[in-house]
Amino acid sequence: MNPMQALSRRIAVVGVGNTAYGDFPARSDYALGAEAFKAALDDCGLDKRAIDGLLCCRVPFYAQMGETLGLNPRWTVTLPGHGRMSGMAVIEAMLALETGAADYVALIYTNVGRSRRMNYGGGESASFWDPWGLTSPGASHGLMFRMHMERYGTTTRQLGEVSVAFRDNAILNPDAVMRKPITLDEHASVRRIVEPLGLYDYCLVNDGAVCMILTTRERAADLRKPPVLIAGVGARDAFERSAIGNFDPDFWYGEVREAGTQAYEMAGVGRDEVDALMCYDNFTPTVLFSLEGLGFCERGEAGAFVEGGALGLHGRLPTNTDGGHLSNSYMQGWALNIEAVRQLRGECGARQVADCEVVQYVAATPCTRSIIYTRS
């Protein structure tokens, strides 16, 4: 049994908000964070004075965020701008709410990487391997995918199925950065970045901010919209094998399996009850690794699983219905978590998954996390 079982469906997401996504050189992290926070407050109808917990992720300085928002919380946490942090942050907030360390937690994520021209490699992130020219998370995923190709016969065209499905989803999302259709042939012919990966296997780099407001299920009952419940969570880190950043020789298979199993058990749902998957897609191979780890297909068969639009809105497993990091926005998992909430509320318009009752978030990374959100 999941040792966190007692927290199942105790904590609710009551408010979500986001800014526009794009290139905003004139706007600071704090301006973007404040906009997302205001949107999330409006979404749940809370007065900002009720917020007594503040979690900042990628925000340069939590105190300046609090100053900007005029908050004096009794619980404040700051997390770095790593993609793996969003699921970790939601779990931290759950614990704070359950223990009474805070009654209403605002989780704020900001990102100005586009307008400040971040490269995600080279001198920005020095490592032991620089003298051999190995740098960037994309290269690590290229190394892993090449291994997957050799072991299982997976093809780069199957990665294209992921890109095309998420782009097709993004076309239905008015907030998405990339809304021009792409084809499998364009995925194959677009410029290579770190082969075997090309441009359309990489996430976007854009500015923006996301806010989520969480409270207990009891307090949620008084707020504007029906709560979305955190039914299950799962976690496993893999630091022992992390000598090459963002690389794992086993694609975090065991960690994803373990985190997924914890989440399913805690939520009391099976993977076949998942109506939509929100899958961390920093690079297309991560999606294949996640599908195999969670058991949506057998090991080595994710390439075949994603063929024929399986991850599209009307496919067998609607995934990243907002377009994900590949086509919606590089909000490092945060936009996927608010998409889960909006799908369960039925707010997604043209991209709404019919009868959506169970949505799973997963991030296959050195800190693997999965969260299952439900309506009841």
Partner 1 sequence: MSAYTPTYDKPLPEIDPYSEGYWELARAHRLSVQACRHCGHLHFPPTPVCPACLSDEQDWRPVSGRGTLVSLVTFHKAYWDGYRNALPYHVCLVQLEEGPLMVGNFGGGAVPDGVKAGMPMRATFLDATPEISLVQFVPA
Q: Which residues bind partner 1 (CB under 8 A)?
A: 119, 121-123, 126, 128-136, 139, 142-144, 146-147, 150-151, 191-196, 240, 243-244, 249
Measured from the CB atom, is 37 or 247 closer to partner 1?
247
- N-to-C CA span, the chain: 21
Measured from the CB atom, is 134 or 184 closer to partner 1?
134
In the bound complex, what is the minimum distance in angstroms from residue 262's beta carbon to partner 1?
25
Measured from the CB atom, is 196 or 260 closer to partner 1?
196
Measured from the CB atom, is 100 or 153 closer to partner 1?
153
Residues of 279-301 as b/e, b for ≥16 C-beta within 10 angstroms?
Answer: bbbbbbbbbbbbbbbbbbbeeee
Give the integer Cα–Cα distance in Å for 373 and 11. 10
Measured from the CB atom, is 109 or 202 closer to partner 1?
202
- Can you tell me whether residue 17 is helix, strand or coil? strand
In the bound complex, what is the minimum distance in angstroms from residue 238's beta carbon to partner 1?
13
Give the integer Cα–Cα distance in Å for 322 and 273. 20
Distance (Å) of CA 137 to CA 31, 33, 130, 281: 28, 26, 13, 12
In the bound complex, what is the minimum distance in angstroms from residue 320's beta carbon to partner 1?
25
In the bound complex, what is the minimum distance in angstroms from residue 146's beta carbon to partner 1?
5
Q: How many residues does the chain have?
A: 376
Give the integer Cα–Cα distance in Å for 256 and 252. 6
- Can you tell me whether residue 345 is helix, strand or coil? helix
Residues of 2-36 as b/e, b for ≥16 C-beta within 10 angstroms?
Answer: bebeebbbbbbbbbbbbbebeebeebebbebbbbb
Measured from the CB atom, is 45 or 122 closer to partner 1?
122
In the bound complex, what is the minimum distance in angstroms from residue 2's beta carbon to partner 1?
28
In the bound complex, what is the minimum distance in angstroms from residue 32's beta carbon to partner 1?
27
